[in-house]
Structure 1
Amino acid sequence: MSALRTRIVEANGLTMQFTEQEQGEGPLVILCHGFPETSYAWRHQLPALAAAGFHAVAPDMRGYGGTTRPESSDQYTLLQLVGDLVGLLDALSVEQAVVVGNDWGATVAWHAALLRPDRFRAVVALGVPMMGQPPVAPTRLFPQTEEALHYTLYFQQPGLAEAEFERQVPQTLRKILFAASGEAGPRQPGDGTPTPFGMVSRQQGLLPPLPEPVTLPSWLTEADLDTYAAAFAASGFAGGLSYYRNLDRNRELLAPFHGLPVQVPALFLIGQRDVGLSIPGMREIIATMPSLVPQLRPVLEVLNAGHWLQQERPEEVNTALIAFLQSL
């Protein structure tokens, strides 16, 4: 199998960089990464999908890596992010694709399938389920006290999290990637285990309470970490953080689509130790997903895996993903 390569296209007004397997042919599969990642997160899936007869591409999402990083945070709504994927299809002269995503990429993938089922014929999501419209603005729902606030609220103030994360980029990534992985250990709702996606001390910030791993988790090499660190040293974190700064705006923009189900075949995978499962009520949200996604296949929970599922358990993810694609 030939090597991975990067390409540049113009899509939805962006210069978009994506990675693909050379000689990859067949039905198109778009792989959308989350925060804090880049297209490199899909390094194990691209060759496997090409070998199975699919043309898989993994873009650096808006604000990340080699793709354009708009300065204004209002340029990172879900409508714009779905528009980027439609623009990528157009740039590749492809009518339809299966869209796959993890973390924020999962949210984008769900909404691409919801809003443009004519272009995205199926969806696979890792870690983040499809959820209905919140009853009020999301930033009013997340908890905060005098001492701490939910990480999504910590991310709202431009420049605050950037200053912390960009101080020592390799250490930032090392801590976040480890703490949200299955190798950081099991978590239960309300057990107080520090995670990157929980409460943040107003005095300390997000990183100090996170464990400092003696060694990297088994699924992440020093070369992998260096690749991520180089990308974020160049881009900064403002682009990725801007996704969170549009939570309330997304609710407003998506109001006309409230109650509309995802009408295409769908698959959802989650790690048994995903930090999202430590959020009270998350399992109930997952259990009720079929009301929002009528063609959802049985949920796959991967034992002892964490939030970075396609990196932590590539063989299991590849097997499930390819079986789903071949069943369409």
Structure 2
Amino acid sequence: MTTPTDFPSPTIIPVNGVTLEVFEAGQPSSKGPIVLCHGWPEHAFSWRHQIPALAAAGYHVIVPNQRGYGHSSCPGDVDAYDIKHLTGDLAALLDHFGYADAIFVGHDWGANVVWSMALLHPERVSKLIALSLPYQERGDIPWTEFIESLFGPDHYMVHFNRRPGVADAILDQNRLQFLRNLYRKDIPPAPPEPGMAMINLAQATSAPGAALLRDDELAVFDAAFASTGFTGSINWYRNLDRNWHHLADVDPVINHPALMIYGDRDVIPRAPNLKDIVPNVTEIGIDAGHWIQQERPDQTSMAILDWLADFDLSPRQG
């Protein structure tokens, strides 16, 4: 059983005009680096189960708290959290360690960053693994407008953009309750409630399903957001349309070897035509909800290692 006291100690590393809190395991080796990217509202600690498994398999495991999280920098400007900055941080992190490229693994928002690394810094990505969130192809209208057209103005991504500061304050005021209600598993299917889902969770005294985290694990997330608040992490969403513009002239096809891991009970559906835009992707499902690597840690680690076992992972040193 992995406990918070087993988690690696961090190093604060200056990159790309900010500092990142970075956790490491393993040593540089022929198998090379693997960078694990958390989602929202998560923390590097969400990879606690995979870190020892990947290190034991011979990888140099690098796990940053990305900007806006933990003890990493939390810039005040909203546009400091756009996809150019987020991917630039990871490219600079490789420079710090002297790696030309790495395997990138991302969950949720981290998956979006990893897909975007393949678009904006293709030479820095050897292979990529995404959990929960398949590649989102850029459409004809900005993403906030597109999401609103599908789900209405109360969708949390739309709300974050149209009503800045409102959700941040409510989540901050109800931090522990929000995180406890969000991190659930075995949630029975149900129609969505009226209103903004994240605010509903923050204000609810209980939530369906079973608790995903032990109290000592939940305390790690709670302490992190007690320190930062939620605004920096929510600002990632406030760059959806800016990111849409940034990607206007980028080749949308991702040719890297890719593994897409879905949670079979996640509310995020499978992408029906992922191979059309990621031709070298392998798609698998795990019997889990959204928090795949925390709900099914051993299955997740094995899926990653089994897929990687098919490749020669000798890195090019920068």
* Global fold match (TM > 0.5): yes
After TM superposition, list the pairs within 5 Å mapping 1:248-287 onto structure 2: 248-257=241-250, 259-277=251-269, 283=270, 286-287=271-272
In structure 2, the residue matched to 1:200 is 195
What 5-or-longer segments of structure 2 have no aligned partner? 312-318
1:246 aligns with 2:246: no
For the 8 Å contact 1:42–1:310, the answer to whether it is kept is yes
Please state whether the residue corresponding to 2:200 is helix, strand or coil. Answer: coil
Amino acid corresponding to residue 57 of structure 2 in structure 1? A
Please state whether the residue corresponding to 1:255 is helix, strand or coil. Answer: coil
RMSD of aligned Cα (Å): 2.4
The Cα offsets for residues 166-189 of structure 1, whole Å up to 9 and x where unpaired, read as 1121111011122xx3x212x3xx
For the 8 Å contact 2:177–2:202, the answer to whether it is kept is no
1:291 aligns with 2:276: yes
In structure 2, the residue matched to 1:8 is 12
In structure 1, the residue matched to 2:314 is none
Q: 1:214 to 1:251 in 2, by over 3 A?
A: closer
Alpha-carbon separation, structure 2, partners of 1:160 and 1:8:
31
Amino acid corresponding to residue 294 of structure 1 in structure 2? P
Q: 1:232 to 1:291 in 2, by over 3 A?
A: same
In structure 2, the residue matched to 1:309 is 292
Report deviation, 1:158: 2.5
Alpha-carbon separation, structure 2, partners of 1:90 and 1:200:
44
Alpha-carbon separation, structure 1, partners of 2:209 and 2:159:
28
After TM superposition, list the pairs within 5 Å mapping 1:216-235 onto structure 2: 217=211, 219-235=212-228
For the 8 Å contact 1:154–1:200, the answer to whether it is kept is no
Alpha-carbon separation, structure 2, partners of 1:313 and 1:256:
38
Moved more, 100-109 or 10-19: 10-19
How many aligned positions are there? 304
Amino acid corresponding to residue 284 of structure 2 in structure 1? L
Please state whether the residue corresponding to 2:183 is helix, strand or coil. Answer: helix
Report deviation, 1:66: 1.2
In structure 1, the residue matched to 2:171 is 165
Please state whether the residue corresponding to 1:100 is helix, strand or coil. Answer: strand
Report deviation, 1:200: 2.9
Alpha-carbon separation, structure 1, partners of 2:192 and 2:213:
22
Alpha-carbon separation, structure 1, partners of 2:263 and 2:299:
11
Report deviation, 1:5: 2.3
Within the candidate set 43, 54, 69, 1:64 is matched to 69
Please state whether the residue corresponding to 2:11 is helix, strand or coil. Answer: strand
In structure 2, the residue matched to 1:280 is none
1:113 aligns with 2:118: yes
For the 8 Å contact 2:138–2:244, the answer to whether it is kept is yes
1:236 aligns with 2:229: yes
The Cα offsets for residues 72-106 of structure 1, whole Å up to 9 and x where unpaired, read as 11111111111010010011111110000000000
- Structure 1 vs Structure 2: percent identity of aligned residues? 35
Report deviation, 1:223: 0.4
Alpha-carbon separation, structure 1, partners of 2:83 and 2:176:
29
Alpha-carbon separation, structure 1, partners of 2:266 and 2:284:
13
Please state whether the residue corresponding to 1:269 is helix, strand or coil. Answer: strand
Alpha-carbon separation, structure 2, partners of 1:47 and 1:229:
23
Name the TM-score, length of structure 1 as normaliser: 0.86
Q: 1:269 to 1:211 in 2, by over 3 A?
A: farther
Name the TM-score, length of structure 2 as normaliser: 0.89
For the 8 Å contact 1:31–1:101, the answer to whether it is kept is yes
Alpha-carbon separation, structure 1, partners of 2:216 and 2:36:
22
Q: 1:245 to 1:224 in 2, by over 3 A?
A: same
Alpha-carbon separation, structure 2, partners of 1:98 and 1:23:
15
What 5-or-longer segments of structure 1 have no aligned partner? 278-282
In structure 1, the residue matched to 2:137 is 132
Alpha-carbon separation, structure 2, partners of 1:67 and 1:150:
28
In structure 2, the residue matched to 1:300 is 284
For the 8 Å contact 2:156–2:196, the answer to whether it is kept is no
Amino acid corresponding to residue 195 of structure 2 in structure 1? V
